[in-house]
Amino acid sequence: MNNMTPLTAGMDIGGTNSVIGLVNRKGYILKETRIKTTDYPEFIDFANKVKRVITKLMSQIDGQVALKGIGIGAPDGNYYTGTISHAPNLPWQGTVPINEVFEKILKVPAFLTNDANAAAIGELLFGKGKKKKHFIVITLGTGLGSGIVVDGDVLYGHTGVAGELGHITVDPDGRECSCGRKGCLESYVSATGLCRTFSELLGVHTSDSDLRSRAYNKLSSAVIFEAAQKGDAIALEAFDITAKRLALALSNAVVVLNPEAIFLFGGLAKAGGLILKPTRKYFKNYLWKLFEGSVTISLSGLQDTNAAVLGSSALAWKELEKNGSL
Amino acid sequence: MNNMTPLTAGMDIGGTNSVIGLVNRKGYILKETRIKTTDYPEFIDFANKVKRVITKLMSQIDGQVALKGIGIGAPDGNYYTGTISHAPNLPWQGTVPINEVFEKILKVPAFLTNDANAAAIGELLFGKGKKKKHFIVITLGTGLGSGIVVDGDVLYGHTGVAGELGHITVDPDGRECSCGRKGCLESYVSATGLCRTFSELLGVHTSDSDLRSRAYNKLSSAVIFEAAQKGDAIALEAFDITAKRLALALSNAVVVLNPEAIFLFGGLAKAGGLILKPTRKYFKNYLWKLFEGSVTISLSGLQDTNAAVLGSSALAWKELEKNGSL
């Protein structure tokens, strides 16, 4: 038993696909596969499929390995309760006891959190956060998620839903948000937010843009990025406005949380010169002098890896170490 | 030695006066006195005076007591370094090694933090935060300070200056702030902020107000409170605007920190019906449904005590317990 290499499974549950990987303590993904979440309208069937997948992946690895636990990242995954409740993008109704079911089926400890928190733990164990105790990971995708690390662990808060930076109200009379309120940060700073800003700017300006011939629902951050690369002035302005909004939110997060680093992650973050560079410029202008030089903004260290699997497996490693189970 | 009652000293260093008290583990202040900070242009003379004061207070207590440590709350006091640097309101120049000097003179461990953090630790050990692990204390005085408790301890951050909620930028083009930037929360929500709002409203409205005959620099939160109590419409509106701004900032803090309670402390917080009540009303409107029912806003449990002494002594108790020194 002692010669077996310990592994954890990392699983990212998505609305369409779920990815499962087997990961060692150094953050190396030994095996990985994906299944279609929508093929399993019943959660128990999904869980049994996951078990079969893990068993198969384990058998494909040369040498002796032992599964120590499973970490799961999922939209609205709650760390404390180990459940997902009424997640709008998942096929399962009501409250799903994720941890309970997986522990019963897999006979190892299961740990759950939301995807942004998983990204933060991935950064902590396997990315640029290895030697850091206070940092923030911002995930820029369809929405804006965040995972906050305080004193070397994720800030979960009283009910397990801390770190929702995307739902800071930046303008109480602003854009409608999917959460039912108005003016949330993610309605401005996200792939969707970028499209909304771009569309508004088409109304503001009279200048030409190739994208004037494209319908709103055919816009994406990718096509706006492409246009900006070609010098489209409106696309460039949309990126600039997005970066400025992000910078202000980050400078506000800094005076509250005093982190030593902020890591940007996700599709939109990759638009390097168009997001990272202006964000840094505006951030420098906004930041209070007291914090000058104490905090950096950079791309996530997991940017080009399968961060979702790494993050959720890192959750399992982190918790097993906390519990002294290794 | 074992029959001696252990005590800690709590000291609040203020620009004009400093208060020193001897406090037992239950949060009972056995003795207390104040000295004039401005009488001691040299810090070493101040520290020696504090030593004489503590020795005298100890001798006045019936029974055997032992001083275990000293906790110090001071503007800009840094928890990590144990120093105060260039505090604009204190008589001492440069960087003052507070902890080092007191440990040498008093021969007990010394602990330093800023006044808002001290208030939060006071709440944690002796106030309404006793059984809570996640909460925020907002101090409403000349400025707006905050102390954030996460997982049962104060959030100090990377360089010891976390929790500066008063310097969140709520309007990048807004009011000038003493920090050199624009639109900080405390330039709207504080005793000073209330006066600024009131003065602006005198320009906006044409309605009568007894305070139209009073110069700007004779305004105070107290006179505006008095006017509001008498039904002055402009004073009432100034309070309402202040509460609304506070509520928005608190609802934003909640989505980031997910606390179970927010405690308001200080002179302005006492204007109960004019601050607490409308703040709760607006907060309810602003708050994201995900957090509904998970967080309360109330007055600090230390509101009518000498919270500054209790808070700084609580810091000493907390740290001595962390270090296992008791």
The ipTM, to two decimals, is 0.94
Confidence (pLDDT) at A13 = 95
Distance of CA A182 to the CA centre of its chain: 22
DSSP class per residue in A172-227: TTS-B-TTSSB-BGGGTSSHHHHHHHHHHHHHH--S--GGGGS-GGG--HHHHHHH
Largest pairwise CA distance in chain A: 71
Whether the per-residue pLDDT at A112 is higher than 70: the answer is yes
Whether the per-residue pLDDT at A45 is higher than 70: the answer is yes
Whether the per-residue pLDDT at A304 is higher than 80: the answer is no
Q: Are B144 and B177 in contact (CB under 8 A)?
A: no
Amino acid at A182: K
Asked if the Cβ–Cβ distance from A181 to B256 is below 8 Å, we say no
Whether the per-residue pLDDT at B89 is higher than 90: the answer is no
pLDDT-based confidence at B75, cuts 50/70/90? confident
Q: Are A101 and A94 in contact (CB under 8 A)?
A: no
Query: Packing angle between helix B98-106 and helix B43-59, nearest 10 degrees?
Result: 40
Distance of CA A316 to the CA centre of its chain: 17
**What are B125's two structure tokens?**
């050990």
Confidence (pLDDT) at A89 = 83
pLDDT (mean) for B266-282: 91
Between B67 and B142, residue with greater pLDDT: B67
Whether the per-residue pLDDT at A138 is higher than 70: the answer is yes
Whether the per-residue pLDDT at B39 is higher than 80: the answer is yes
Q: Are A37 and A14 in contact (CB under 8 A)?
A: yes
- As a whole number, the mean pLDDT across chain B is 95
Q: pLDDT tens across B153-202, in order?
A: 999 999 999 999 999 999 999 999 999 999 999 999 999 999 999 999 99
Of A159, A257, A289, Cβ closest to residue B157: A257
Cα–Cα distance measured from residue A228 to residue A223, given in angstroms and rounded to the nearest whole number: 9
Q: Is residue B272 within a helix (H) or strand (E), and if so which, with residue range?
A: helix B272-286
Confidence (pLDDT) at B188 = 98
Q: What residues have CB less than 8 Å from B59, skipping those under 6 apart?
A: none
pTM over 0.90: yes
Chain A interface, best mutation among B136, B150, B292, by max A CB count within 10 A? B150
Confidence (pLDDT) at A173 = 96
**What are A115's two structure tokens?**
């995807």
Whether the per-residue pLDDT at B233 is higher than 80: the answer is yes
- pLDDT > 90 fraction of chain A, expressed in percent and rounded: 89
Confidence (pLDDT) at A86 = 81
What three-state secondary structure class fits B311? helix
Among B8, B7, B20, smallest CA distance to B308 is for B20
**Min CA distance, A4 vs chain B (Å)?**
36
Nearest CA in chain A to B76: A290
Cα–Cα distance measured from residue B135 to residue A140, given in angstroms and rounded to the nearest whole number: 28
Q: What residues have CB less than 8 Å from B303, skipping those under 6 apart?
A: B265, B269, B270
Whether the per-residue pLDDT at A108 is higher than 70: the answer is yes
Q: Are A9 and A24 in contact (CB under 8 A)?
A: no
What three-state secondary structure class fits B224? helix
Using the Cβ of A80 and the Cβ atoms of chain B, whether some distance falls under 8 Å is answered with no
Using the Cβ of B41 and the Cβ atoms of chain A, whether some distance falls under 8 Å is answered with no
Using the Cβ of A294 and the Cβ atoms of chain B, whether some distance falls under 8 Å is answered with yes
Confidence (pLDDT) at A2 = 63
Using the Cβ of B258 and the Cβ atoms of chain A, whether some distance falls under 8 Å is answered with yes
Give the pairing of strands A296-299 and A261-265.
Answer: parallel
Whether the per-residue pLDDT at B1 is higher than 70: the answer is no
Residues shown for chain B: 326
In this structure, of A153-157, B42-46, B305-309, the range with the lowest mean pLDDT score is B305-309
Chain A interface, best mutation among B176, B284, B288, by max A CB count within 10 A? B288
**Min CA distance, A198 vs chain B (Å)?**
22
* Angle ∠(A71,A134,B183) on CA atoms, nearest 5: 120
Among A197, A200, A244, smallest CA distance to A221 is for A197
Cα–Cα distance measured from residue B298 to residue B264, given in angstroms and rounded to the nearest whole number: 6
**In this structure, what are the phi and psi dihedrals at residue A22, rounded to the nearest 5 degrees?**
-110, 130
Whether the per-residue pLDDT at A1 is higher than 70: the answer is no
pLDDT-based confidence at B2, cuts 50/70/90? low
Cα–Cα distance measured from residue A245 to residue A256, given in angstroms and rounded to the nearest whole number: 17
pLDDT-based confidence at B303, cuts 50/70/90? confident
Using the Cβ of B182 and the Cβ atoms of chain A, whether some distance falls under 8 Å is answered with no
Helix then strand then coil, % of chain A, to nearest 5 = 45, 20, 35
Using the Cβ of A253 and the Cβ atoms of chain B, whether some distance falls under 8 Å is answered with yes
Which chain B positions have a beta carbon within 8 Å of A180's beta carbon?
289
Confidence (pLDDT) at B324 = 87
Confidence (pLDDT) at B267 = 85
- As a whole number, the mean pLDDT across chain A is 95
Rounded to whole angstroms, what are the CA distances from A194 to A69, A141, A173, A190, A216? 39, 11, 18, 6, 12
Between A63 and A188, residue with greater pLDDT: A188
Which chain B positions have a beta carbon within 8 Å of A167's beta carbon?
255, 288
Q: pLDDT tens across B97-127, in order?
A: 999 999 999 999 999 999 999 999 999 999 9
Q: How many CB atoms lie within 10 A of CB A130?
A: 11
Confidence (pLDDT) at B159 = 96
Asked if the Cβ–Cβ distance from A180 to B289 is below 8 Å, we say yes
Cα–Cα distance measured from residue B175 to residue B168, given in angstroms and rounded to the nearest whole number: 12
Whether the per-residue pLDDT at B252 is higher than 70: the answer is yes
**Min CA distance, B167 vs chain A (Å)?**
7
Using the Cβ of A162 and the Cβ atoms of chain B, whether some distance falls under 8 Å is answered with yes
Residues shown for chain A: 326
**Min CA distance, A54 vs chain B (Å)?**
34
Confidence (pLDDT) at A305 = 76
Cα–Cα distance measured from residue B218 to residue A88, given in angstroms and rounded to the nearest whole number: 56
**Min CA distance, B134 vs chain A (Å)?**
6
- pLDDT > 90 fraction of chain B, expressed in percent and rounded: 89
Of B165, B172, B251, Cβ closest to residue A256: B165
pLDDT-based confidence at A270, cuts 50/70/90? confident
Confidence (pLDDT) at A256 = 98
pLDDT-based confidence at A263, cuts 50/70/90? very high
Rounded to whole angstroms, what are the CA distances from A21 to A105, A113, A273, B110, B154? 17, 17, 32, 50, 37
Whether the per-residue pLDDT at B149 is higher than 70: the answer is yes
Amino acid at B62: D
**In this structure, what are the phi and psi dihedrals at residue B148, rounded to the nearest 5 degrees?**
-110, 125
DSSP class per residue in A111-172: EEE-HHHHHHHHHHHHSTTTT-SSEEEEEESSSEEEEEEETTEE---SSS----GGG-BS-T
**What are A174's two structure tokens?**
């602003």
Helices (H) and strands (E) in chain B, counts: 8, 12
Confidence (pLDDT) at B325 = 81
Of B151, B159, B172, Cβ closest to residue A294: B159
